[in-house]
Amino acid sequence: MSPVSLVAVEPAKGDDTVRLQAAIDGLSASGGGRVELMAGIHVCRGLQLKSGVDLHLAAGAILRPVPEYEAYAHTSVSVIAEKSDRGMIVAKDARRISLTGAGRIEAGCDSFIVGDDETVGTFIPAEFRPRVVVFEGCDEVEISSIHISRSPMWTLHFVNCTDVAVRNVTIDNDRRLPNTDGIVLDACRGAVIEDCRISTADDGICLKTSIGPDRVAIGRCENILVRRCSVQSLSCALKIGTETHGDVTNVVFEDCSVSSSNRALGVFSRDGGRISNIRFSRIAVECRETPDGFWGSGEALTVNVVDRVTERTAGAIENLIVEDITGRMEGAITVISTSSAGIGNASLARIALDQQPGQLGTARSYDLRPTNADLSPKADGGGRANAWTRGSDGRVIGLEHYPGGMPAVYVAGVTGILMNEVRFTRPTPLPQGWNKNDAVFETAAPDGSGAWQN
């Protein structure tokens, strides 16, 4: 790298946004290069990364974004998430951009917490929170080796990007702050996520297809590989959905580990996009119960199709392979469709799980959230949009009791599922509230009544 293509930035006293942005702009205009933040603390407001530029955090460098939502008014983004329309580091329609180095981004989530809801086990987030990184419509994107901590909202959000690589990244977020997803691939094509370590309250690695400002799907999510990642999540560690306005296809999760987590593996269809050709292979899991404020409770695998709105049918889930899964769970495996779209051609093979009781008892219900009720909680029921809503009986809407108690695997409303070498170890005697059958299959009879196969 020539001296012209490298700009080294020493720490400054106070807000250094203007100098950092000028360095990025200058290098991009001259053909590209590296802006290297040297060891020390760099304070800034929003930064816009531009074509050909690598923002590099050297060992010992700490990028500390200003912990105020208004500090990012000039780095707004088009895709709104949980009312967030801003990012700390953004890029739009850029090519050959990267965020690299052994340094850290300390994102300051504490300034975006307004309370503590002990009844559901989560902090109460501020209404408006910035995401850490949002790249929209970019090509040839790399994020590698950096450490990001205490994100106030989604950490890495890629929207409609192609040729994305995320390697050897560490994300360490507060485990009680909702919506702090680790890595979100949103309508991206051609992406590799590998050798990453993620700990967060929300989804670890999540693939989705959102809608844009014009209220139509941004695009498809396809040809994605996630491998050799370690994830801790109080939502779902390795996930597809729930936003599925466009199709999701050709996705592989392999050779990963999930520990100290709620749900391990999840596929959720809600909004009309078809989900197909999905494979989870060689994954070790440890799934624990969580309070009702978190979706799910201790499931090794959750697959469900639910119409989010009555006027639009969810998309089908087809050609799903889950194989070589080992570990421990306090919940069950659930494969459920309440939508006419359904689940077809699903295969579970070579699964060996130890099912043990948790201390909370929350796993004895299966969870269909988000439902239509979560779009706008009623004032008399309490709750938070896209999180949890209580009905007039005080129960969280979307939590349903297993018929006959909790089995090890529960399948309902599904046509076409094959299970081969699926084994569970369960305690003897079974705890109260557990089903005597390892597997429970519920299908719909022609007259609409429930037909049981155990």
CA distance 81 to 77: 10
**What total number of domains does the chain contain?**
1
Q: Is the pLDDT of residue 42 over 90?
A: yes
pLDDT at 294: 83
Residues of the chain with pLDDT > 70: what percent?
93
pLDDT tens digit sequence for 85-121: 999 999 999 999 999 999 999 999 999 999 998 877 8
Q: Rounded to whole angstroms, what are the CA distances from 2 to 5, 6, 59, 221?
A: 5, 7, 21, 37
Mean local confidence (pLDDT), 351-372: 94
Name residue 116's amino acid.
Answer: D
pLDDT tens digit sequence for 133-177: 999 999 999 999 999 999 999 999 999 999 999 999 999 999 999
pLDDT at 449: 38
Mean local confidence (pLDDT), 404-426: 96
Query: Which CATH number fits the domain that encloses residue 54?
Result: 2.160.20.10
Name residue 247's amino acid.
Answer: D
Query: Under the phi-then-psi rule, with left for phi > 0, alpha for psi from -120 to 50, and beta for the rest, what region is 152?
Result: alpha
**Helix, strand, coil share of the chain (percent; to 5):** 5, 50, 40
pLDDT at 377: 54
- CB of 360 within 8 A of CB of 289? yes
**Cα torsion 186, 187, 191, 194: sign:** positive
Q: Rounded to whole angstroms, what are the CA distances from 343 to 196, 263, 318, 352, 444?
A: 31, 19, 6, 23, 14
pLDDT band at 378 (very low <50, low <70, confident <90, very high): low
User: Strand 104-106 and strand 147-149: pairing?
Assistant: parallel
pLDDT at 326: 99
Nearest to 136, CA basis, from 82, 80, 175: 80
Q: Rounded to whole angstroms, what are the CA distances from 212 to 53, 146, 268?
A: 27, 29, 20
Q: Is the pLDDT of residue 401 over 90?
A: yes
User: Strand 6-9 and strand 40-44: pairing?
Assistant: unpaired
Mean local confidence (pLDDT), 373-381: 58
pLDDT at 446: 36
- Where in the sequence is the domain holding 249, given as residue range(s)? 3-453
Q: What is the 3-state secondary structure (H, E, C) of 383-448?
A: EECCCEEECCCCCECCEEECCCCECCEEEECCCCEEEEEEEEECCCCCCCCECCCCEEEEEECCCC
